[in-house]
Amino acid sequence: MNRRLVLGAKNGAVVIILVVFAVSTLAPLLWMIFTSFKPLQDVEGGSLVPKTWHSENYSSVFQQVPFARYYLNSVFIAAWVTFLTCLTSAMGAFAFSRLEWKGRDALFRLYLATMMIPGVVTMIPNYTLMVKLHLLDSYTGLIIPSAFGAFGTFLLRQFMLTIPKALDEAATIDGAGYWSVFVDIVLPLARPGVIALAIFTFLGNYGSFYWPLVLIKSDSLRTLPVGMMYFDTTYGRQTNLLMAASVMSLLPPILLFLIGQKHLIKGIAFGAVKG
């Protein structure tokens, strides 16, 4: 009996701790949602829940800035970066995991070393390259530098290492080339890893701020994080509208996560099995 009471007390304490952590995690999100329905003069008030709900804050966002254009730009750029990253990373991972060639492991370690370089360090060389290629203030300039990286190759390589090489050998005996093995065998089996990489890449680029801020001058090419700065500069600090814009900007990442969460967990789990 005492043992049951002790176990019950421990379980209850764990539940309470988890609830506290959950509430503390959700508190900023709830504050953002409630603030998006408040008038500006009530934002600094002590009440969390708005006394009167002002849904017109959401329509005011579209009236003051071309928010729909910013939305489209962010989704368009993030989608292209995600597609190119998954393509190049899958091809690189296939070469590093399925093909045998001299210096492969040494080159892979060197490739991984690039992950230790902060993005701020490479921003100036990337900007200089965009100037020389005449890609400033363009979609191409926003997409290309972000479409290649060592993380995606590393993640998919770890996943592809879990796929038996006997499948490659059987396909080769049947006359399949490297490209056929990659497209018809390895890539379909690595789908959970590719989906996990796609979610990571989309979320990372959808909220990108510094690179669009540096590269883009035209208002029609601005992304959501850069465009929402107008609520704190040109039009003064309009916290209620900024929170309304933030709530709307969260919808694509949330939908993407809900759709691909099963593959995301599977991709991470399988990718960590073999080094």
Each residue of 195-209: b (16+ CB within 10 Å) or e? bbbbbbbbebbbebe
The whole-number pLDDT of residue 272 equals 47
Q: Are 25 and 64 part of one and the same domain? A: no
The whole-number pLDDT of residue 273 equals 46
Cβ neighbours around 28 below 10 Å, total: 9
Range of the domain at 8: 2-35
91: its two tokens: 């091809």
Residue 78 lies in a domain: yes
Q: Are 177 and 245 part of one and the same domain? A: yes
Q: Are 65 and 117 part of one and the same domain? A: yes
Instruction: Determine phi and psi for 129, rounding to 5 degrees.
Output: -65, -40
Q: Are 13 and 64 part of one and the same domain? A: no
Q: Are 6 and 90 part of one and the same domain? A: no
The whole-number pLDDT of residue 58 equals 92
77: its two tokens: 């750029």
Each residue's pLDDT, cut to its tens digit, for the chain (275 residues) gives 566 666 667 777 888 888 888 888 888 888 899 888 988 888 876 677 888 888 899 999 998 889 999 999 999 999 999 999 999 999 999 999 888 888 888 999 998 888 888 888 888 899 999 999 999 999 999 999 888 888 899 989 988 888 888 888 888 888 888 888 888 888 888 888 898 899 889 988 998 898 999 999 898 999 999 988 888 765 567 888 899 999 999 988 888 888 877 766 665 555 444 44
Q: What is the pTM of this model?
A: 0.84
Amino acid at 135: L
**Pseudo-torsion of CA 17, 18, 19, 21, nearest 10°?**
90
Q: Are 20 and 112 part of one and the same domain? A: no
Residue 13 lies in a domain: yes
The whole-number pLDDT of residue 82 equals 94
C-alpha 108/C-alpha 51 separation (Å) is 58
User: Do 240 and 59 meet the contact criterion of CB atoms below 8 Å apart?
Assistant: no
| 3-state class (DSSP) for residue 38 | coil
Residue 121 lies in a domain: yes
**Pseudo-torsion of CA 40, 46, 50, 51, nearest 10°?**
-100
Q: Are 256 and 144 part of one and the same domain? A: yes
Residue 81 lies in a domain: yes
C-alpha 245/C-alpha 228 separation (Å) is 7
The whole-number pLDDT of residue 185 equals 87
Residue 53 lies in a domain: no
85: its two tokens: 């990253």
Q: Are 136 and 198 part of one and the same domain? A: yes
The whole-number pLDDT of residue 234 equals 55
C-alpha 261/C-alpha 250 separation (Å) is 16
The whole-number pLDDT of residue 87 equals 93
Residue 89 lies in a domain: yes
Largest CA-CA distance found in the chain, in angstroms, rounded: 77
Q: Are 81 and 152 part of one and the same domain? A: yes
The alpha carbons of the chain give a radius of gyration, in whole angstroms, of 24
Q: Are 113 and 24 part of one and the same domain? A: no
The whole-number pLDDT of residue 131 equals 92
Reduced DSSP (H G I as helix, E B as strand, rest coil) percent helix, strand, coil of the chain, to 5: 75, 0, 25
The DSSP letter of residue 181 is: I
Q: Are 175 and 72 part of one and the same domain? A: yes
